[in-house]
Amino acid sequence: MKTAEIAQRYLDYFEKNEHTIVPSASLVSDDPSIMFTIAGMVPFIPYLTGVVPAPYARAADVQKCIRTNDIEEVGKTARHGTFFQMLGNWSFGDYFKEGAISYAWELLTSSEADGGLGFAERDLWVTVYEDDDEAAALWQRIAGLPAERIQRLGRADNFWTTGQPGPAGPCSEIYFDRGPAYGAEGGPAVDDNRFLEIWNLVFMQNSIANVRSKTEFDIVGELPEKNIDTGMGLERVAFIKQGVENMYETDQVRPVLDRAVELSGRRYGAEHVDDVRFRVIADHVRSSLMLLSDGVTPSNEGRGYILRRLMRRTVRSMRLLGVEEATFPALFEASRDAMKAGYPEVETDWQRISSYAFAEEETFLRTLTAGSTILDTAVEKTRASGGSTLTGPEAFLLHDTYGFPIDLTLEIAEEAGLGVDRDAFDSLMQEQRQRAKADARSRKRAIADVGVYSAFRAQGETAFTGYTDLETETNVLGVLVDGVSVPSATQGQIAEVIVAETSLYAESGGQVADKGVIVGPGFELEVLDVQRPVPGLVSHTVEVARGEVGVGQPASTIVDAANRRAATQAHSATHLVHAALRDTLGKGATQAGSLNRAGYLRFDFTWGQALSPVTRTEIEEIANNAVRDNLEVTTRVLSLDDAKAAGATALFGEKYGDRVRMVDIGGPWSRELCGGTHVASSAEIGLISITGESSVGASNRRVEALVGLDAFRELTAERALVNELTSALKTPKDQLATRVSELAASLKAAEKKIAQFEAKALGERVPALVDAATRAGAVRLVAESVGAVGSQDDVRSLVSSVRERLGSEAAVVALAAEVAGRPVVIVATNDAARRAGAKAGALAKAAAAALGGGGGGRDDMAQGGGADASAVPAALDAVRRGLVAA
C-alpha cells in the first residue's frame, strides 16, 4: 500500500465519520517561537488551548512536519527522519476517549477491502497512563484486547503536556509487534524496537500548574471542555504496510536512496556505514525538496541555514560514497516524482525549486573541494602535535573563507577523533557580525569549476570508435592531476587523460566503463574509470603503471576484450529481459533503471507486486528463446522524433539530443534508444539465468541475472549442490524437495517434543523453588534464576505455579531466566502480598533497570528485560530490596 494511499484512506475514513478535512499547514510555522511545524498538533494549538474558538467540532488532516533536533540519528534507526507526515484526528469538545479509541481501532483493523488499513488484531498492543482505568477498560470493551496487551506506563511515556502550565492529559499509544526477530517479547514496556509506536491518542482532560520538568508538575483540575489530539506516523505505517525495514525504504523515500546507489555504484545493504549515508541522502533530499516547495531558500541564518545544512550533508554523504560530481538533478528529480502524488506543488513549481537546489550544490561542491583540503591539513597538523582540538581560528577560516558550516566541521572533526574550540569560533563569529557590510560582501562563493575541461571540449567531441574497434590510435590532448591541468603525469600517479579518439566505453546507460590500458612511447596507463565530465568529452581516470605520459604524445586506447565481450552480452541480455517482461506483464512494466557489467545484469521496472515463480520462469524462457533464435541486432542513428515514431523505448534517466542511436533486436520486438555496446546477434549472449527478483520500493521491482559464462558457472555450481544433497540424503533428484520437507517437519516435531520435555522439567522444579522461599519484609519471597528456557511463557507458567504452591500467606515470586540469549525477570504477587504493598509492576521495573532494560505491568504479574545477563543476581536483589523498603 503506497504512502499516499494510506493517507487518503485515513482522510476518507474520518470524512465519512463527519470530520472536517483540513489541508496541511506550511512547514514554515506561524508560531514565532519555532521555525518549523515540528508536530502535527502545532497548527491546532490555538484551538486546543482555547485561545481561539475551533471552527469545527471535529477535524482530520495530514500534516507536513520538519524536526532536526535528532539530525545526527537520521539513517541510524528505523524511525528518525527530518521530514515526516502526521495523520491526525481532532475533537474540540465533541467525542472523547471512547470515540477516539473506537475510531482508531476500527480504521486500523478493518480490512483493506472495506477501506481500512488491514492490521491483524493480534499484532497490536496499547499502553495507557498508569492510573487511567477508564482508557484501559475501554480498550478491553471496544477492542477486546486482553489485559496483558494493555500496559500501564508513567508520566514520562504516557502523559502529554506542552511543557507549560495549561492543558494536558493522559495518552494511550498503539504499538505494532514487528515479531521476535526484532526483540524481546513482553510488549512495548519491554522492547520499543520490536513494538513500534504507530498512533498516539492524547486525552486532553487536565489542567496542570507548577511545571518543574516533563514529569514533575501538579495536576490542578479537569478542563471544562475536553479535547482529543491524535497523531499517527504516516512513514511508520507505510514501512509496516509495505513490508520494508524502515522509513527510508518506503515508496516516497526509497527512489532517492536507489538513485544514490545507482550514482555511487555501491550496493545498499552491503555495509552499515554506507547504508547510513544512503539513508541520510534519501531523507535529506526529500526534506530539502519539501522545504523549498514551501518557500524556504538556502542561507546562513534561520530556516535557510537548516535547509543549507541538510543539502550540504547530502553532498558530503555522496562524496563519502565516492561521487564527486553534481547529483542533485538526479536525486531531486527522483524525490519529486516520489512525492508529487501527495504534493503536486513539487512538480508544478519544479523550475523554481530545482534552480535553488542545483545552484546550491554547484556552489558547495567547490566549497567542499577547497575546504576539505584545508580541514584535512588542520586535522593532520593537530594529530601530529599531539593535540585533541581544532582551534577556533581554523574552524572560522573554513566558515568565513570557504563557506564550510560549523556543523560540518564538527562532524568531520568528530570522525577524526578531535574536538573543536567552539567558544573561540563563536567569538570570532560575533566579531565578524560587527564588521562593515562591505567586508561581508567581499566574501563570494564561486560556482563549481568545470571550466578546466573547456579548452579540451573546444577542440571537438571525443570520437568513440569502440562500437567497431577495440584499439584506436590517438593523441593525448590533456592530463589533469587533482583537477588541475598539468603537462604530464609520472609513474604511480593517478591522473585524468583526455584523448582525441577512444575505443574505451564511458559509463552511461547503465553500462559500466570499459577496462583496458592506454599505451604510448615509453608509458603504459591502467584505466580505472571512463566518464563524460561534460557533454561530448570523455575523460579516462588512469594510474600511470610505467613511464611518463605527456600532452601531445601519441597513444593507443586498448579495450580489455574479454571484459567488453561479457559486458556487451549483459547489456544485450538486458534488452531481451526488458522485452520479455513487457511481453509477459504488459506495457505497464516500464524500465526504471539498469546496471550492466561483465556477466551480470540488474534491471529495475515499475510493477506493484512480486513475480510468481511461474511468471519468472516464463520471462527467463522468453529471453533465452530469443537467444536461441539468433535474432539479428542492428543499430541506426536517426532523429529523436523518428525513433519515437518507430516505437523505440527510451532508457530511464537518459537525456537525448536531436540525433539518437536506436538498437533493434529481432526488429521491433526489442527496440530501444541506447548508446551501449551490443552483440551482433542474440546467440552471442550465450545464456541468461535469472538469479533474483525483489522489491526496490512499493511499485518497483528488480530482476537480477547472470549472463554467458557466469550464468553457466552458476548453474554448474547449483547442479553440484543438488548432487551433493541427493548423495547425502540418498534421495533421487525428483524427490529431493519432498525429502527436505519431510526432514523439516521431523525437525519441527522434535523441537515440539523437546519443548514439552523442557516444560515438564520446569514443572518438576516447583517444589525446590517453594522450599527456597525466604523472608523479605512482610512477605515470603522466592527470588531465583532458572537458567536458559525456551520462552517467556514457560517462565510465566512456572512463576504462576510457584505462587499457587505458596498458598494464601503474603508471597512474591521473582524468577529470572535467559530467553533467546537475553535476560528476563517475571514477578508475581498474591492477594495478601498486594495488600501488604507489594506491586509486581514496580518490582519488575526495578529488576529490569539492573539488567539495563525496561519493564513494568500489572500489580499481580509483570515482567522486565534487558541485555546484561551477568546482572541477573543484581536484578533479583533489586526485587528483595524493593520489598524490604516497602
* pLDDT higher than threshold 60 for residue 655: no
> Pick from 799, 23, 611: which is nearest to 342 by CA?
23
Q: Does some domain include residue 725?
A: no
Q: Are 285 and 256 in contact (CB under 8 A)?
A: yes
**DSSP helix/strand/coil, 401:** helix
CB atoms within 10 A of CB 724: 10
Same domain, 554 and 568: no
Q: How far apart are CA 814 and CA 840, in angstroms?
A: 9
> Pick from 251, 318, 235: which is nearest to 281 by CA?
318
> Pick from 232, 206, 230: which is nearest to 217 by CA?
206
Q: How far apart are CA 74 and CA 72, in angstroms?
A: 6
Q: What is the pLDDT of residues 678-717, one digit of tens each?
A: 999 999 999 999 999 998 754 578 999 999 999 999 999 9
> Pick from 61, 65, 4: which is nearest to 29 by CA?
65
Same domain, 576 and 528: no
Q: How far apart are CA 880 and CA 886, in angstroms?
A: 10
In the prediction, which pLDDT does 402 show? 62
- The per-residue DSSP string of 63-105 comes to EEEE--TTGGGTTTSSS--SEEEEEEEEEESS--HHHHHHHHH
DSSP strand pairing (659-665 vs 633-639): antiparallel
Same domain, 609 and 510: no
Q: Does some domain include residue 61?
A: yes
Q: Does some domain include residue 52?
A: yes
What angle do the packed helices 422-433 and 392-402 form, to 10 degrees?
40
Same domain, 129 and 54: yes
Max Cα distance, the chain (Å): 100
- The per-residue DSSP string of 713-774 comes to HHHHHHHHHHHHHHHHHT--GGGHHHHHHHHHHHHHHHHHHHHHHHHHHHHTTHHHHHHT-E
Residues with Cβ < 8 Å from 754, sequence gap 6 or more?
none
> Pick from 813, 825, 815: which is nearest to 856 by CA?
825
Q: What is the pLDDT of residues 486-532, one digit of tens each?
A: 999 999 999 999 999 999 999 988 899 999 999 999 999 999 999 98
Q: How far apart are CA 786 and CA 797, in angstroms?
A: 13
What proportion of the chain, given as a percentage, has pLDDT over 70? 94
Q: Is 284 annotated as a binding residue?
A: no
Geometric angle at alpha carbon 508, from 657 and 609, rounded to 5°: 100
Cell 569549476 belongs to which residue? 449
Q: How far apart are CA 62 and CA 238, in angstroms?
A: 14
Q: Does some domain include residue 721?
A: no
> Pick from 146, 141, 157, 232: which is nearest to 190 by CA?
157
Q: How far apart are CA 823 and CA 851, in angstroms?
A: 7
- Tallying the residues shown for the chain, one arrives at 886
Average pLDDT over residues 714-730: 90
In the prediction, which pLDDT does 32 show? 62
Geometric angle at alpha carbon 475, from 470 and 476, rounded to 5°: 110
Q: What is the pLDDT of residues 247-284, one digit of tens each?
A: 999 999 999 999 999 999 999 999 999 999 999 999 99
* pLDDT higher than threshold 80 for residue 592: no
Q: How far apart are CA 586 and CA 727, in angstroms?
A: 43
Q: How confident is the model at residue 450 (pLDDT cuts 50, 70, 90)?
A: low
Distances 77 to 74, 235, 290 between C-alpha atoms, Å: 7, 13, 22
Q: Are 59 and 205 in contact (CB under 8 A)?
A: no
C-alpha neighbours within 13 Å on the C-beta side of residue 601: 29
Q: How far apart are CA 26 and CA 64, in angstroms?
A: 7
* pLDDT higher than threshold 90 for residue 92: yes
Domain span at 277: 252-441
Cell 555450481 belongs to which residue? 717
* pLDDT higher than threshold 50 for residue 99: yes
* pLDDT higher than threshold 90 for residue 141: yes
Q: How confident is the model at residue 51 (pLDDT cuts 50, 70, 90)?
A: low
**Given 697, 714, 731, which residue is the final one in a domain?**
714
Among 16-30, 84-98, 766-780, 850-864, the range of highest mean pLDDT = 84-98
Q: Are 346 and 289 in contact (CB under 8 A)?
A: yes
Q: Are 690 and 705 in contact (CB under 8 A)?
A: yes
* pLDDT higher than threshold 50 for residue 370: yes
In the prediction, which pLDDT does 599 show? 94
* pLDDT higher than threshold 50 for residue 606: yes
Distances 783 to 418, 786, 797, 806, 845 between C-alpha atoms, Å: 48, 10, 15, 13, 15
In the prediction, which pLDDT does 556 show? 96
Q: How confident is the model at residue 653 (pLDDT cuts 50, 70, 90)?
A: very low
Same domain, 378 and 466: no
Range name among 45-54, 140-149, 442-451 with the lowest pLDDT average: 442-451
* pLDDT higher than threshold 80 for residue 344: yes
HEC assignment per residue over 536-577:
CEEEEEEEEEECEEECCCEEEEEECHHHHHHHHHHHHHHHHH
Q: How far apart are CA 409 and CA 375, in angstroms?
A: 8
CATH number at residue 645: 3.30.980.10
**Given 441, 471, 497, which residue is the final one in a domain?**
441
Distances 300 to 47, 825, 841 between C-alpha atoms, Å: 34, 52, 51
User: 513-528: string of b/e by CB count within 10 Å (b at 16+)?
Assistant: bbbbbbbbeebbbebe
Residues with Cβ < 8 Å from 410, sequence gap 6 or more?
420, 422
Same domain, 427 and 458: no
- The per-residue DSSP string of 248-312 comes to GGSTTTHHHHHHHHHHHTPPTTS-HHHHHHHHHHHHHHHHHHHHHHTT----SSHHHHHHHHHHH
Q: How confident is the model at residue 651 (pLDDT cuts 50, 70, 90)?
A: low
CATH number at residue 853: 3.10.310.40
Average pLDDT over residues 710-726: 91
* pLDDT higher than threshold 70 for residue 432: no
Q: How far apart are CA 580 and CA 618, in angstroms?
A: 8
Please give the tally of structural domains in the chain.
Answer: 5
Same domain, 395 and 513: no
What angle do the packed helices 328-339 and 272-293 form, to 10 degrees?
70
* pLDDT higher than threshold 70 for residue 79: no
**DSSP helix/strand/coil, 164:** coil
Q: Is 678 annotated as a binding residue?
A: yes
Q: How far apart are CA 520 and CA 556, in angstroms?
A: 6
Q: How far apart are CA 238 and CA 220, in angstroms?
A: 40
Q: Are 189 and 865 in contact (CB under 8 A)?
A: no
**Given 714, 747, 778, which residue is the final one in a domain?**
714
Q: Does some domain include residue 759?
A: no
Residue 211, C-alpha cell as written in the block: 511545571
Q: Does some domain include residue 423?
A: yes
Same domain, 217 and 278: no
* pLDDT higher than threshold 80 for residue 375: no
Same domain, 593 and 631: yes
Q: Does some domain include residue 262?
A: yes
Q: Does some domain include residue 779?
A: yes
Distances 668 to 627, 631, 664 between C-alpha atoms, Å: 16, 11, 6
Q: How far apart are CA 441 and CA 731, in angstroms?
A: 82
Q: Are 782 and 772 in contact (CB under 8 A)?
A: yes
DSSP strand pairing (463-464 vs 501-502): parallel
In the prediction, which pLDDT does 656 show? 63
* pLDDT higher than threshold 50 for residue 377: yes
622-624-628-633 Cα dihedral, nearest 10 degrees: 90
Same domain, 178 and 159: yes
Q: How confident is the model at residue 601 (pLDDT cuts 50, 70, 90)?
A: very high
Displacement of CA 885 from its chain's centroid (Å): 47
Q: Is 575 annotated as a binding residue?
A: yes
Q: Are 86 and 63 in contact (CB under 8 A)?
A: yes
Same domain, 644 and 787: no
Q: What is the pLDDT of residues 190-246, one digit of tens each?
A: 988 899 999 999 999 999 999 888 889 999 988 888 999 999 999 999 999 999 988
Where are the alpha helices (H) located in 66-218, listed in sequence order?
Answer: 97-109, 133-138, 155-158
Displacement of CA 50 from its chain's centroid (Å): 39
Give, as one character, the DSSP assignment of residue 611: P
What proportion of the chain, given as a percentage, has pLDDT over 90? 55
Q: Is 65 annotated as a binding residue?
A: no
State the chain's mean pLDDT as an integer. 88
Same domain, 87 and 233: yes
